[in-house]
Structure formats: structure tokens, C-alpha cells
Amino acid sequence: MLDTTVLILVSVLLLLVNAVGVFLVALQLPGTWLMLGATVAVAWWRWNGWSGGDGGGGGLITGWTLLGLLILALLGELVEFLGPALGAVKEKSSRRAAVLAVVGGVTGAIVGTILLAFLPVIGTLIGAVVGSGLFSILGDLWAGREWEPALRGGKGAAIGRFWGALGKLIIAVAMWVVVAGALLWP
């Protein structure tokens, strides 16, 4: 009875921590890694028998589940960071503009979180999108391009950053669903 209660409480706590991870991704923070780390910790706890079980742990979270979560977390990073660069490159921006679009996205997310604190989540996303666009424009101007193509590249980087952030958020939700499925249907 106590073992079942503890297992249910740990499972609910894991789902709550992973929900916080999804929220962190919405804030442009590394919530997918929190989700993976928390799920690995619970799996390790179960596999080592610390849950009061038979010592074999068993069931809930398999190595395949953890591998799937790792792949999703890596894919989320790839989508998030390549979005602005690919958006800039699509508009034929310079390599410098593509690199600065990624840097600008991170910088803009931080600045947006601080300056637009009255718009939680949305302020961070606005900052990331605007930062990617502005830094891409600066990169193109620095590389000697004219204003018109630099503006197109900045627009592409901003759009890419938006879709990259949305893609990573979708991946984070998918990770939450995978963990919930592993916990509910062992």
C-alpha cells in the first residue's frame, strides 16, 4: 500500500516538474533538459529498487523511453537554434547574419524577459524574435550588404526564430506526453 502511494506521488511530482519544464521552454529556457533530467532521476530511482519494490524497478520508464526523450530534447535544441539561421539564409543573408541571428535570439530573449516583464512568456518570445531579426540585419550590414536585402534577411531570421521557438514548445509538450504515457501505461 505504502509502495503504491509513494509511486503515485513520485509520478505526479514528475509530471508537475515536467509541466514546469514545458513552461520554461515557453520562456525560452532549457526546460527540455529539466524534463529529461527529472525523468532520468525517477527511472534511476525505480531501477535501483529505492521505491521499495523488488529491486529490479521495472515498468514505468524504460531505457527506450529515455532514449526517445534524449532524441526529442536534442531535436528541440536543433529546431530552436537553427530556426533563425535558416530563416536568414533562406533570404540569402550572409553567414555572419545567420550566426548573429542565433546570438540575437538568445540576447533578445533575455532583454525581452527583463524589459517586457509585464508580458510573461510573450515578452520573452517578442525579445527573441526581435533580437534575431535585429542581429541578422546588423550582421548583413557588417558584411557590406545593402539595407533592402539586410531587412529581408532580418525578417527571415525573426520568422525563423518564431517558428523555432514554437517547434521547441511542441517538442516539449510531446516529451511531457511521452512521460505521461510511460507512467500511465507501463
What pTM value is reported for the model?
0.85
pLDDT in tens, 151-177: 999 999 999 999 999 999 999 999 999
Report CA torsion sign: 174, 177, 183, 185: negative
Residue 183 to residue 174: CA distance in whole angstroms = 14
Angle in degrees, CA 5, 56, 176, rounded to 5: 60
Helices (H), the chain: 2-26, 31-47, 63-90, 95-115, 122-142, 147-184
Q: What is the mean pLDDT of residues 34-39?
A: 97
Q: What is the mean pLDDT of residues 24-35?
A: 93
Phi, psi of 51 (to 5 degrees): -80, 5
Report CA torsion sign: 32, 36, 38, 42: positive
The pLDDT assigned to 55 comes to 47
